[in-house]
């Protein structure tokens, strides 16, 4: 070891250098049998040892360093006196802080204190310190050790004082005094503060009062405040309320108006807005025109576009992917398999065949009557799958696959829910009919599609009989437009484009995600179409910008600091609707000032705009996304729960909370209802299609009875979709004049409230509620990750619907296809839902496919039942002969079927849901299935005992 009066060198491998001020402590010497051992410690390094030195040399060397080191740190102590005094003062002020001790405010104090402690204070020899100095050092070191606790104490002290000091402001800011929860959220001023606001909890009051508080207290000047809303109407309302309450003109802005201003500031002028940016119809028309142009000018793309409408737009599933017939039928109905010729077909493979015929100019009929009168099984006239008009050739497509046996023969198999022997017998019967009547039959098979040869094989089989005359891509595209099949694809492209652009995605990222999600050929085909569409769309902007450009360009200017932000407080309303791109802009603005804060108000229970790009994860991970850093802890933020609702009574408020929290990913919050109700507030009314209007009128009649003179009762009719608006709404308003009746979709009802809410058409189905029309899986390539909880967003939509009501909610349920949400509310007694008990339930299963039988009233007051899959299944049953309404339920133990009216019948031995009734035959009376002639089940009439 060497020391030259300032630098210390340790001759080790590698060499170690250090100065006096880098010593962690004075050197130490210990004498041993083999000589002295000298220990020397430098900051942030392991100890260095020198062994076997002469004791006298080691002591002299150590003392020389010690004396100089103590002198140096004493000199440093004197030089740091001003810093120490300032730190002690700042730490002392935390006991009674004048401003909110946010992480961004206290963290610099902590960092200075920790640096001073490591550099100097921890090295000071206690015996050399005066008492006053020792007290200061203890205070600083105590703060370093307990910074989080001391900051939390400071926050509590500040908030308590502010609540008292600003009590009058909080009492008078609105017509009613702000609640304690609202006041706490307003005085809270962490780096990032999230106010969890339930439905009807006064979100707008909180965000406007927060702005007023910051201005009135002098914490911020108007130009340092940024209020952000998603809709211009909400922004205008906030601006007006702040000016009215505070006398300060403060403009709340939408994200787009802010972004436009940022661009104008940096570029010196604002680029023109694209004409279609504010007009959805014009935007979609532009996408459609781009598609049409690509069909005409780009041969490879035109093939992909035509192929998309032919069959690649659909999932590549088949009957073999389903175990139950009902599941397969449900899937097929959702796809709406409509051909280019216009008819609806019953399988994906039939669609491929029909569209190939149409594309190649071969005229055909779908499921025509066979030219000879032949009944299949004595029940239904034979209708082959296709007949080629010109040649008279028939095509039958057989849903069979094949596996090769060891002996080289093939074994045919059918889908899991199909009776193989019965299906193969049907194939033989059809072949026999054509052979008997000498008509030509072309056969196609599912195994041909499985090995990718279906259409090539079809072309080869047809070639001897028909000449192909392919239609041009332009003709085919015009046909698609004519059939209104282009609209949904144009909508998908338009939505995808906005998400793609707004999220800053790249095509290769989307392709890779498509492979990860196993979206198959459908995704790759879509991207091959989207790429030239996007390129042409960008070209057509021609220097103008759209709303996605606004946010992206403004964010880039904020991130690069080409735009210098004046904002030190960013207040965001309806935070649950924020998207990734908007979140980036907020972060970029906050990052420009070390003391900038974010104050966000939102309700994750009302996050229902994922289809528009909102990402609920930004709210769920609020601290990680927007929080500050303090004492080695990242994501520092404050969450305040407003809790109290000023709208709904207890039964609605608590039921809605319980309902939405079935999804464990939702943030838990306190809910304090607006009042209590002695009467049931949630009621279910069961309906069938034929009596929906009458049942709604009965509900309105009962609500009209609650109206008091000069006080109209408001009734909000809610539907999951626009088309659910009652067609006789004007008539209902006239008939129930004491009621203020309005209709909204649930999405459009956000922010509204009414005395009573009636939720229409709560049935199970594609356009039911919960809706089964899910976002196209392709949007997952440019969207936040889907939530794993079933119907996660639909559950939040239901929460929004429930919480529009002050006094009662009536759910118009279904007697035959009950909504899963209604069933949940009825089955769990904790919800307190009433109704439907006294009503006849038409919840019967189709014995043919496992679907549901729907009641259909007849003119004579009786009922018959048909399967929900009317086209694909077609099964039907007459009602019980005794009551004319119910369906007998089968008891497998007794072998009898019993109706709710009490009538009993022997169960049919041949089918799943039939029962036996007396019939007349050639040889007298016998018991035959009620479904004869579809079912031939029968039994002898038991002889009566004497």
- Model confidence over 769-814: pLDDT tens digits? 988 776 788 888 988 776 778 888 899 999 999 999 999 999 999 8
pTM (2 decimals)? 0.77
Average pLDDT value for the chain: 89
- As beta bridge partners, residue 397 has 444
Strands 924-929, 938-939: parallel, antiparallel or unpaired by DSSP?
antiparallel
- Residue 774 pLDDT: 66
Q: Give residue 377's pLDDT.
A: 55
The span from the CA of 507 to the CA of 807, in Å, is 51
pLDDT above 90 (res 690): no
| Residue 707: predicted pLDDT | 73
Output the six-digit token pair for 16.
Answer: 């170690």
Sign of the Cα torsion 230, 236, 237, 241 reads positive
14 preceded by cis ω (within 30°)? yes
Calpha distance 287→546 (Å, rounded)? 14
The pLDDT score that the predictor gives to residue 623 is 94
CA distance 844 to 836: 16
Question: Above 70 in pLDDT, residue 494?
Answer: yes
| Dihedral (Cα; 627, 628, 633, 636), 10-degree rounding | -50
Distance CA 508, CA 524 (A): 11
pLDDT given for residue 683 in this prediction:
93
**Phi/psi of residue 801, each to 5°?**
-60, -45
Q: What is the distance between the alpha carbons of residues 444 and 452, in angstroms, rounded to a whole number?
A: 13
Mean pLDDT, residues 54-74 taken together: 90
**Do residues 166 and 189 lie in contact, with contact meaning Cβ atoms separated by under 8 Å?**
no
- DSSP 3-state assignment of 371? coil
- Asked if residues 704 and 715 have their Cβ atoms less than 8 Å apart, the reply is no
How many CB atoms are located within 10 Å of the residue 798 CB? 27
CB atoms within 10 A of CB 528: 18
pLDDT in the model for residue 405: 87
Q: How far apart are the C-alpha atoms of 680 and 866, rounded to whole Å?
A: 35
CA distance 729 to 786: 37
Q: How many CB atoms lie within 10 A of CB 416?
A: 14
**Tens digits of per-residue pLDDT, 226-242?**
999 988 888 888 888 88
**Cβ–Cβ under 8 Å, residues 804 and 747:** no
Closest by CA to 432, choosing from 371, 376, 349, 392, is: 376
Say which residues have a Cβ less than 8 Å from residue 168's Cβ, sequence separation at least 6: none
Tell me how long the chain is. Answer: 946
Written as one string, the DSSP assignment of 261-295 is: HHHHHHHSSPPPBPGGGG-HHHHHHHHHHHHHHHH
> Which pLDDT score is estimated for 376?
61
Three-state SS at 926: strand
The reported pLDDT for the residue numbered 929 is 92
What is the Cα 228 distance to its own chain's centre?
22
Residue 498, token pair as written in the block: 């906005």
Using the predicted structure, report yes or no on whether residue 838 has a pLDDT greater than 60: no
- Exposed/middle/buried for residue 118 (C-beta within 10 Å: 0-12, 13-18, 19+): middle
User: Per-residue pLDDT for 85 more than 60?
Assistant: yes
Write out the binding residues: 197-204
Residue 127 has pLDDT above 70, yes or no: no
Residues 588, 555 contacting (CB under 8 angstroms): yes
Q: pLDDT, tens digit, for every residue of 503-559? A: 888 999 999 999 988 888 889 999 999 999 999 999 999 989 999 999 999 999 999
Does the bond joining 770 to the residue before it have cis omega, within 30 degrees of 0? Answer: yes
3-class secondary-structure state, position 4: coil
Using CA atoms, how far apart are residues 67 and 796, in angstroms rounded to an integer?
A: 72
- Using CA atoms, how far apart are residues 346 and 383, in angstroms rounded to an integer? 13
> What are the tens digits of pLDDT across the range 641-689?
887 777 888 899 999 999 999 998 888 888 888 888 878 899 999 888 7
Which pLDDT value is given to residue 710?
A: 65
pLDDT for the residue 800: 93
Cα separation, 265 vs 257, whole angstroms: 12
What are the tens digits of pLDDT across the range 165-223? 999 999 998 888 999 999 999 999 999 999 988 777 788 889 999 999 999 999 999 99
Q: Average pLDDT for residues 332-359, to the nearest whole number?
A: 92
> Which are the contacts of 912, defined by CB distance < 8 A and separation ≥ 6?
847, 848, 890
Picking from 843, 774, 771, 846, the residue whose alpha carbon sits closest to that of residue 325 is: 846
Q: What digits encode the pLDDT tens for the residues 18-43?
A: 888 888 888 999 998 888 999 988 88
Inter-residue contact 308 to 294 (CB < 8 Å)? no
Structure tokens at 269: 């002028």
State what percent of residues in the chain have pLDDT above 70: 97
User: What contacts 454, CB < 8 A, 6 or more positions away?
Assistant: 349, 352, 353, 444, 448
Q: What is the pLDDT of residues 404-461, one digit of tens each?
A: 888 889 999 999 999 999 999 999 999 999 999 999 999 999 999 999 999 999 999 9
Q: Which domains does the chain have, with CATH numbers?
A: 2-79 (2.30.29), 81-152 (no CATH), 169-271+552-641 (3.40.50.300), 275-344+469-544 (no CATH), 362-467 (no CATH), 650-835 (3.40.50.300), 844-939 (no CATH)
Given a cut of 90, whether residue 933 has pLDDT beyond it is no
Residues β-bridged to residue 918: 927
Host H or E run for residue 489? helix 486-502
Element (H, E) at 143: helix 131-145
| Residue 645 to residue 127: CA distance in whole angstroms | 62
**pLDDT band per the 50, 70, 90 thresholds, residue 944:** low
Q: What is the pairing mode between strands 863-867 and 852-857?
A: antiparallel
Tokens of 683: 């009621």
Residue with tokens 């911020």: 220
CA distances from 561 to 371, 587, 588 (A): 78, 12, 9
For the chain, how many helices (H) and strands (E)?
30, 38
Tell whether the model's pLDDT for residue 840 goes beyond 60: no
Q: What is the pLDDT of residues 4-20, one digit of tens each?
A: 888 899 888 888 888 88
Give me the pLDDT at residue 596, please: 97
- How many CB atoms sit inside 10 A of residue 180's CB? 12
The CB-side HSE value for 169 (13 A sphere, CA atoms) comes to 24
What integer pLDDT is reported at residue 562 of this predicted model?
Answer: 97
Write out the binding residues for ATP: 197-204
Tokens at 564, concatenated: 């210098």
pLDDT digits (tens, 9 = 90+) for 271-283: 999 999 888 899 9
Number of neighbouring beta carbons within 10 Å of residue 55: 15
Start-to-end CA span in the chain (Å): 125
Q: What is the largest CA-CA distance in the chain?
A: 133
Phi, psi of 81 (to 5 degrees): -55, -45
Distance CA 553, CA 273 (A): 13
Tell whether omega for the bond before 239 is within 30 degrees of 0, i.e. cis: no
pLDDT at residue number 462:
97
Q: How confident is the model at residue 841 (pLDDT cuts 50, 70, 90)?
A: low
């Amino acid at each position: 070891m060497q020391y030259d009066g300032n630098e210390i060198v340790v001759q080790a491998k590698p060499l170690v250098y250090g100065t006096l001020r880098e010593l962690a402590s004075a050197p130490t010497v210990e004498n041993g049998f083999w000589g002295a051992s000298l220990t020397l410690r430098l900051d942030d390094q392991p100890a260095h040892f020198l062994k076997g030195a002469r004791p006298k040399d080691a002591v002299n060397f150590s003392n020389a360093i010690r004396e100089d080191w103590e002198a140096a740190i004493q000199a440093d102590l004197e030089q740091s006196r001003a810093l120490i005094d300032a730190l002690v003062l700042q730490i002392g002020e935390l006991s009674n802080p004048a401003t909110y001790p946010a992480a961004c405010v206290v963290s610099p104090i902590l960092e200075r204190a920790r640096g001073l402690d490591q550099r100097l204070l921890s090295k000071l020899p206690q015996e050399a310190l005066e008492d006053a100095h020792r007290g200061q050092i203890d205070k600083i070191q105590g703060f370093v050790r307990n910074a989080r606790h001391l900051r939390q104490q400071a926050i509590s002290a500040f908030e308590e004082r502010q609540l008292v000091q600003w009590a009058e402001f909080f009492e008078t800011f609105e017509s009613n005094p702000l609640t304690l929860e609202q006041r706490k959220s307003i005085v809270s001023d962490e780096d990032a503060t999230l106010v969890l606001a339930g439905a009807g909890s006064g979100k707008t009051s909180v965000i406007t009062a927060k702005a007023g508080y910051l201005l009135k207290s002098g914490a911020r000047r108007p130009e340092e405040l940024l209020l952000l809303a998603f809709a211009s109407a909400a922004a205008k309302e906030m601006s007006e309320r702040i000016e009215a309450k505070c006398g300060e003109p403060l403009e709340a802005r939408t994200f787009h108006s802010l972004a436009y201003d940022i661009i104008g500031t940096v570029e010196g002028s604002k680029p023109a807005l694209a004409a279609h940016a504010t007009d959805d119809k014009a935007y979609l028309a532009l996408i459609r025109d781009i598609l049409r142009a690509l069909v005409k000018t780009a041969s490879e793309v035109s093939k992909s576009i035509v192929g998309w409408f032919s069959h690649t737009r659909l999932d590549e599933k088949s009957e073999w992917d389903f175990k139950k017939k009902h599941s397969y039928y449900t899937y097929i109905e959702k796809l709406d398999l409509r051909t280019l010729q216009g008819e609806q077909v019953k399988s994906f493979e039939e669609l491929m065949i029909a569209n190939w015929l149409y594309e190649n100019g071969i005229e055909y009929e779908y499921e025509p009557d066979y030219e000879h009168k032949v009944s299949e099984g004595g029940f239904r006239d034979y209708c082959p799958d296709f007949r080629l008009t010109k040649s008279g050739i028939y095509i039958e497509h057989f849903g069979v696959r094949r596996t090769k046996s060891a002996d080289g023969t093939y074994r045919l198999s059918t889908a899991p829910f199909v009776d193989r022997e019965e299906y193969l017998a049907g194939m033989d019967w059809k072949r026999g009919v054509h052979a008997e009547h000498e008509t030509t039959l072309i056969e196609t098979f599912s195994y041909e599609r499985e090995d990718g040869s279906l259409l090539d094989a079809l072309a080869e089989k047809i070639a001897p009989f028909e000449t192909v005359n392919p239609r041009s891509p332009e003709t085919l595209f015009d046909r698609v437009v004519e059939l209104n099949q282009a609209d949904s694809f144009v909508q998908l492209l338009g939505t995808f484009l906005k998400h793609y652009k707004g999220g800053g995605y790249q095509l290769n990222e989307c392709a890779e995600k498509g492979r990860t999600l196993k979206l198959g050929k459908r995704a790759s085909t879509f991207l091959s179409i989207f790429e030239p569409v996007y390129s042409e769309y960008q070209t057509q902007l021609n220097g103008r910008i759209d709303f996605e450009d606004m946010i992206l360009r403004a964010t880039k200017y904020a991130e690069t600091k080409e735009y210098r932000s004046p904002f030190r407080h960013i207040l965001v309303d309806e935070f649950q609707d924020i998207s990734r791109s908007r979140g980036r802009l907020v972060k970029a603005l906050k990052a420009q000032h070390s003391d900038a804060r974010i104050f966000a108000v939102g309700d994750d229970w009302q996050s229902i705009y994922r289809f528009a790009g909102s990402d609920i994860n930004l709210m769920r991970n609020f601290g990680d996304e927007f929080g500050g850093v303090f004492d080695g802890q990242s994501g520092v933020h404050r969450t305040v729960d407003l809790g109290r609702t000023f709208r709904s009574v207890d039964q609605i408020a608590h039921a809605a909370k319980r309902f939405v929290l079935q999804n464990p990913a939702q943030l838990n919050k306190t809910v304090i209802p607006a009042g209590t109700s002695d009467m049931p507030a949630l009621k279910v009314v069961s309906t069938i299609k034929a009596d929906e209007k009458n049942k709604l009128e009965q509900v309105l009649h009962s609500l009209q009875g609650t109206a008091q003179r000069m006080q109209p009762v408001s009734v909000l009719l809610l539907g999951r979709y626009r088309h659910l608006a009652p067609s006789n709404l004007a008539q209902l308003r006239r008939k129930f004049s004491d009621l203020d009746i309005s209709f909204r979709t649930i999405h459009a009802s956000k922010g509204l409230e009414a005395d009573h809410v009636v939720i229409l058409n709560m049935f199970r189905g594609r356009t039911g509620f919960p809706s089964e029309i899910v976002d196209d899986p392709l949007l997952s390539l440019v969207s936040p990750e889907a939530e794993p909880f079933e119907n996660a967003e639909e559950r939040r939509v239901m929460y929004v619907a429930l919480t529009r009501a002050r006094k009662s909610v009536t759910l118009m349920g279904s007697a035959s296809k009950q909504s899963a949400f209604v069933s949940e509310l009825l089955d769990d007694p904790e919800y307190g839902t009433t109704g439907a008990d006294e009503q006849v339930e038409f919840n019967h299963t189709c014995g043919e496919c496992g679907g549901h039988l729907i009641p259909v009233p007849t003119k004579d007051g009786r009922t018959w039942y048909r399967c929900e899959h009317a086209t694909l299944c077609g099964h039907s049953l007459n009602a019980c002969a005794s009551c004319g309404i119910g369906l007998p339920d089968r008891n497998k133990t007794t072998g009898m079927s019993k109706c709710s009216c009490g009538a009993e019948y022997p169960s049919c031995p041949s089918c799943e849901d039939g029962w036996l009734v007396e019939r007349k035959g050639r040889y007298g009376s016998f018991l035959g299935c009620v479904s004869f002639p579809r079912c031939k089940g029968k039994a002898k009439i038991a002889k009566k005992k004497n």
